[in-house]
Structure 1
Amino acid sequence: MPAHRSLAIAAAVLVTVPGCGLITAQTGPNTLTVADYYTAEPGNTALTEILRACGEQTGVTVVREVMPRSQLVPKLLRDGAADTLPDLVLSDNPDLAKLASTGALLPLDGRVATDGFYDSVLAAGSYQGELYGVAPGVNSLALFYDRGVFAEAGLEPPTTWDELRETAAALTEGSRYGLALSAIGTEEGTWQFEPFLWGAGAELTDLDSPEAVTALTFWASLFSDGSVSSSALNWQQSDVAEQFVGGHAAMMINGSWQLAALDAEEDLDYGVVPLPTPNAGDQPATPLGGETWAVPRGERQERAVELLDCVLSPEHMLEWARLRADVPAHPDIAARLVEEQPELAPFVASAPSAEARTVDLGTGYPAVSQAISTALQRVATGQLDPAEALARAQREAADAS
């Protein structure tokens, strides 16, 4: 039998590593099942290879069930109700609270080696003070800038909000905007606004606070100045990167996952710096992104924990982060990777202070996220002013909880 075999079943792909087989109720004690949404490269191949190596090391056969991201959590919730969950799950960290709230996940404190990991990484994997998920690598946001455009204008990358606004306005010319960002009415828009929200001292639990109004007022000024295209209301972060690569934006707010694509552009000379803050010397407050591994309770949970420990080992943590331009969960491994990839330095610098989006809100985060992204759209299109939009967002989030 071939080492890797894929079968299309109900919009999912089953990949057996290294043998062949399907997920069934009779899956043996030496076969572990994994559910994830890594359908695209390089994550798909990287994950397959890491699981293959760890399967050999721990003496198990690993069966991956790969499906579109939008299908993963609904399927896991159905499987949990039917008591047919896989042995390991890799999901987006904001989804962990929903899974943990069902009682189906195994607490990982004392079971998985996480000594020395960033506190922010462990916070992102926690629900109600208990660790249920661990990420091998994480991502966040930074400011990318076109070195050629800045050199021609005789400007330096901005470090404060005032400098960001002034620089973006100065570099807006013709078909080129000073700044590109995502303001789409989904979690991507909220994710990109959160550094402004937290930077102003606001919290996700108090959307209509004076600090939150300050943040949204500044954010909106970038649109009213004409420094950000109104099309940003429809842009995903991949669209933002396309605008930057195409020379239609002198700066962009984006994540470390864009580095490989940018490096492939031969004519693009870019730099990356930490996100500007309200005041010089402040630490950027970026949201913590990335996926967490979790272990559902079950007969094979101890074998699953053993496999997860291997996945989180320094060797595999570095391999995973290197391929995905993630920040490794352990500072020592992160320092090693920055030596290889210096452009990751701003992302590594922000990791200790990065914010886990569900720490305070738990399962209530999606409703708050949607309320924020809707408020952004209302303000950018002139429907409401920042204070009105955030007051409505606070009510909508409360009604949905």
Structure 2
Amino acid sequence: MSNRFTPGVAVPLTVVSALIGGVVLSGCGQQRDPDVYTVLNSSTDESYHRWDAQTLARCGKQLGVTIEQQSVPASQVMTKALRMASSKSLPDVLQLDASEMPTFAEAGGLIPLKDLGLSTRDIPEGIVNFGSYEGTYYGAARTVNTLALFYNKDTLDKAGLKVPTTWAEMRETAKELTHGKRYGLALSAGGAEDGVFQFTPFMWSNGGDETKLDSPEVAGALDYWKSLLKDGSLSKSTVNWTQADVNDQFMAGNAAMMINGPWQVETLNSKKGLNWGIAQIPVPEAGDDSVGPLGGGVLTVPNTGDGEREKMSAKIIGCMAGEQEQITYAINSWMVPANEKAAAVWRTKAPELAALADQVATARSRTAKLGARWSSVSLALQSAFQSALTGEPSETALKRAQKRATSGN
């Protein structure tokens, strides 16, 4: 199952600006069929591709146009879009990971959606921010996701243990559930955005912040991960695992609990006899907010210089992100609708995921504070926890990370 949020390699802003600037200055490149529109996304999974095709067919019929879908792996969307910009063949609608959108917006490559008539009514502030750069709304989310604690109900019941809600409880529970080939907990601490995505709920719930990586709060979160490793509750392979690897371990019975996201649910449900539950990620102290990262894609209108096509592109987004389409897509994909009214309907249809909706309510965007600078902070953090989890003191690793993030190298 492909990962539903992971951005690809960070592309330097200067490269993005040069490519996009050329397109905007020279106007629209090739002649296009006035009744055919393209959407570029990362729906390479058969099921996601099919769901999107069905959405586009319904929206095309409603708007009287043909909408074609082009899908490339999530890690290639940005580079593919830049290649298309250089050949003046940008798609009409571009679905970007929300953490990549600021880079495109900063380079002048996107049209503000409100200028094209799209509103943010009934969308929670956190999700509006998720699709915004420097206060301007560029990206409409259909659904959002975040991380949660998945647990094997049978394993916990057999051990007579409750689902943990605090860090101390999770450490104790994970220790008790570690037995033989089975670890108490699995998470991704790999040197990629997967690992950073998984670290943010620990960093943020502990009061840490991406603008100051060398704070005691960030070090405390990293030390907590180190304590789980020291207890033997986490596999040493944690530093190499992606979120897909974590899910494989959980499904194989090699982990009693895992930190993961709803994009794994379809795969989890394919395993007969796996009795799993979902809860909010435990917090440092009882009563703290569990603050996770918002994940997912946002639908944007690239700046092609063709005003009429851009207006129709916005109508396509308006249809794709309409309440009914959000509910349909969310139920198919186990995500949470971005629109509050749609989310209320969804809760009644997917009650087993209520904990996820609660987690989304306190979640925030990775790029809300840093915009396009998030990518350099992410790279610095990846390096820091790889070093810390293999023996370096957290403070030392994070001091280096902060220097690296500030210098942008």
TM over 0.5: yes
Kindly indicate whether residue 222 of structure 2 is the aligned counterpart of residue 216 of structure 1.
yes
Is contact 1:321-1:327 (8 Å) kept? yes
Kindly indicate whether residue 59 of structure 2 is the aligned counterpart of residue 54 of structure 1.
yes
Kindly indicate whether residue 342 of structure 2 is the aligned counterpart of residue 333 of structure 1.
yes
Amino acid across the alignment from 1:223 = L
Alignment: residue pair count: 378
1:376 to 367, 374, 385: 385
Alignment correspondent of 1:199: 205
Alignment correspondent of 1:390: 398
Q: Give the RMSD, CA atoms, in angstroms.
A: 1.5
Amino acid across the alignment from 1:398 = T
1:89 to 66, 69, 94: 94
1:301 to 307, 310, 318: 310
Alignment correspondent of 2:41: 36
Alignment correspondent of 2:376: 367
1:251 to 230, 245, 257: 257
1:154 to 149, 154, 160: 160
Instruction: Provide, for residues 313-369 of structure 1, a one-character-per-residue CA deviation record: whole Å limited to 9, x for no partner.
Output: 111111111111110001221222222222211111122221100111111111111
Amino acid across the alignment from 1:221 = S
2:73 to 68, 73, 81: 68
SS class of match (1:252): strand
Alignment correspondent of 2:12: none
- In 2: Cα distance, 1:133 partner to 1:189 partner: 24
* Runs of 4+ deviating beyond 6 Å: none
TM superposition shift of 1:36:
1.2
Alignment correspondent of 1:142: 148
Alignment correspondent of 1:164: 170
Alignment correspondent of 2:293: 287
- In 2: Cα distance, 1:398 partner to 1:68 partner: 30
Is contact 1:90-1:293 (8 Å) kept? yes
Instruction: Give % identity.
Output: 40
- In 2: Cα distance, 1:199 partner to 1:83 partner: 44
SS class of match (1:109): helix
Is contact 1:77-1:99 (8 Å) kept? no
- In 2: Cα distance, 1:353 partner to 1:78 partner: 37
SS class of match (1:251): strand
Is contact 1:183-1:192 (8 Å) kept? yes
Kindly indicate whether residue 408 of structure 2 is the aligned counterpart of residue 400 of structure 1.
yes
Kindly indicate whether residue 194 of structure 2 is the aligned counterpart of residue 188 of structure 1.
yes
- In 2: Cα distance, 1:120 partner to 1:42 partner: 28
Amino acid across the alignment from 2:356 = F
Alignment correspondent of 1:117: 123
1:179 to 169, 181, 185: 185
Amino acid across the alignment from 1:200 = N
Which piece of structure 1 moves more, 58-67 or 243-252? 58-67
Alignment correspondent of 1:260: 266
Which structure 1 residue ranges, 5 or more long, are not aligned?
Answer: 1-22
SS class of match (1:196): helix
Task: Answer 1 or 2: which has greater helix percent.
Answer: 2
- In 1: Cα distance, 2:171 partner to 2:403 partner: 30
Which piece of structure 1 moves more, 65-74 or 224-233? 65-74
Amino acid across the alignment from 1:247 = G
Which structure 2 residue ranges, 5 or more long, are not aligned?
Answer: 1-27
- In 1: Cα distance, 2:345 partner to 2:75 partner: 34
- In 1: Cα distance, 2:80 partner to 2:47 partner: 24
Instruction: Provide, for residues 222-278 of structure 1, a one-character-per-residue CA deviation record: whole Å limited to 9, x for no partner.
Output: 111110001111111111111111111111000011112112211111111100011
Alignment correspondent of 1:240: 246
Instruction: Provide, for residues 149-195 of structure 1, a one-character-per-residue CA deviation record: whole Å limited to 9, x for no partner.
Output: 11111110000011111111111111111000011000000100000
Is contact 1:119-1:352 (8 Å) kept? no
